[in-house]
Chains A and B, each alone.
Chain A
């Protein structure tokens, strides 16, 4: 690659006067400094996941799972062995699915309007989409909770769902808009020239092309909703989602099962990405 070539050229020039034997490792280090630093950062990012995985096989003495004691697969064979854990997990999945559906439908509609039409208030709409992403979560969380509180709305499943759709919406709009903006309008015109009806054009041309954007928006919504703690904490009342269960367990004592579920989530995510990539590369090959 170009960058490494230039590195080699110039380090050769500067190190040239020193003896070869001592210069070689130093030169290698200098040439690969960026790569090494990058890999170090990667290790920093992955380290907690490794720790979560390793400690899912721990058998802790006492309530907290912070120190390695003894190897055991107990938690893996009995992941729901802790009261309320799997209930909260189910609730979080349920909320994430509905929040994803809601945010994806509403967000895709907004994205199409923004990408395809010129209308008054476009700038205002763009600002309204941007603001939730640029605001600290605590502020949004406290504001929404104040509103619910004063309207006398009971906190629980519905308030969580409303809040999640609200903060996922902007991310879907951004993802879908980028995709729709970059697509060639001539493809749709071609479909129309070939006597496709507007419905057919939308279903067979527009939607398939926009699909990756919609999919990434949906995936992001799911991840954000499933993982959200701050906004949920303010708007859940006594309802306990999975992140709230984890939060509570940090004070009460962390069961090993939490690590099992964290590890399983990581593996499922990696698997999903791998499958998606394989499908993507196969499609690319078949279209070539």
Chain B
């Protein structure tokens, strides 16, 4: 790949980009040769499976008799009818986790971008390093942290917080594990770095002199934040919320490890339909409903944030 890859501009005008130059057919084909293997890989192992999945969702049959495409749209209705509560729960958990990620991640991203100074690299490392420890192991660690006899539950109990949260339906009795609180806590934890990194990137681009200017114009810190910093960080907020919400909505690891059967998310259903029940059409239909729901929410969200704040 080395010889053909370098865009060789020997004697022609130096200001022209390589592609605009009059080149031989062989050279014009260079980008296509570069793209070919990778794009083929994505077409065969990413795009084609999705198309195939779509046809699977319209099939009926069983593992013994084989599956046939019968344009059986009712699979979608049946799947939605049976599992709508898991859908709603997935979207709800993902939305709450995303909001919490934004709430928790923003101060940390701000800290790294503007206040960490020479500690910046150290803090950054502490954000990224957990990435490299197996995330299943870290999720299991939450089982220890939130354990029934553990310090967290003890403190929450003695402050009578668990009584309040139980009344609200977030926890059950005097425990945190196997409740919605534990699942949302795990989701928030697992996807927090996906929020912090884009937030940091967009905050870092802001010129600190803008803060000084706002201060010189007698803006209070809260006003500076509301009118200057936050609007300028909107690209990071949008990217971060999408990067958090989408994987969180499809996740089934947190619900499985930290929740009980009452906290099952749609990912759990797809997983068990596919790997245990072996009902491939239902699994395929559920996948597509999930995709459609996410697509719809993301479109609405981008349009909203695009017209109002993303300027």
Question: A192 — which chain B residues lie within 8 A by C-beta?
Answer: 8-10
Q: Given the known inter-chain contacts A142-B270, A262-B134, please indicate yes or no for A203 contacting B18, CB distance below 8 A.
A: no
Contacting A at CB under 8 A, from B200-220, are 208-209, 211-212, 214-215, 219-220
Question: A226 — which chain B residues lie within 8 A by C-beta?
Answer: 134
A143, B130: Cβ atoms under 8 Å? no
B31, A117: Cβ atoms under 8 Å? yes
Question: B1 — which chain A residues lie within 8 A by C-beta?
Answer: 109
A201, B6: Cβ atoms under 8 Å? yes
A247, B136: Cβ atoms under 8 Å? yes
The size of the chain B interface, using a CB distance under 8 A, is 107
Q: 1/0 per residue B24-62: CB within 8 Å of A?
A: 000000111011011101110111111011001000000
Task: Give the distance in Å from the alpha carbon of A24 to the alpha carbon of B252 in the complex.
Answer: 48
Question: B34 — which chain A residues lie within 8 A by C-beta?
Answer: 109-110, 112-113, 117
Question: B283 — which chain A residues lie within 8 A by C-beta?
Answer: 142
Q: Given the known inter-chain contacts A110-B39, A234-B274, please indicate yes or no for A189 contacting B14, CB distance below 8 A.
A: yes
The reply on B140 being an interface residue by CB < 8 A is: yes
Question: B149 — which chain A residues lie within 8 A by C-beta?
Answer: 67
The reply on A215 being an interface residue by CB < 8 A is: no
Name the residue on A nearest B50 (C-beta).
A143
Name the residue on A nearest B133 (C-beta).
A266
Would you mind naming 16 contact pairs between A and B with Cβ atoms under 8 Å apart?
A3-B221, A3-B224, A6-B219, A6-B220, A52-B141, A106-B37, A113-B35, A138-B290, A146-B49, A146-B56, A163-B45, A189-B14, A206-B5, A246-B137, A269-B131, A269-B132
Give me the interface of B with A, judged by CB distance under 8 Å.
1-3, 5-10, 14, 17-20, 30-32, 34-35, 37-39, 41-43, 45-50, 52-53, 56, 104-105, 107-112, 114-115, 117, 121, 123, 125-145, 147, 149, 189, 192-193, 196, 208-209, 211-212, 214-215, 219-221, 224, 242, 246-247, 249-253, 257, 267, 270-271, 274-275, 280, 283-284, 287-288, 290-291, 294, 298
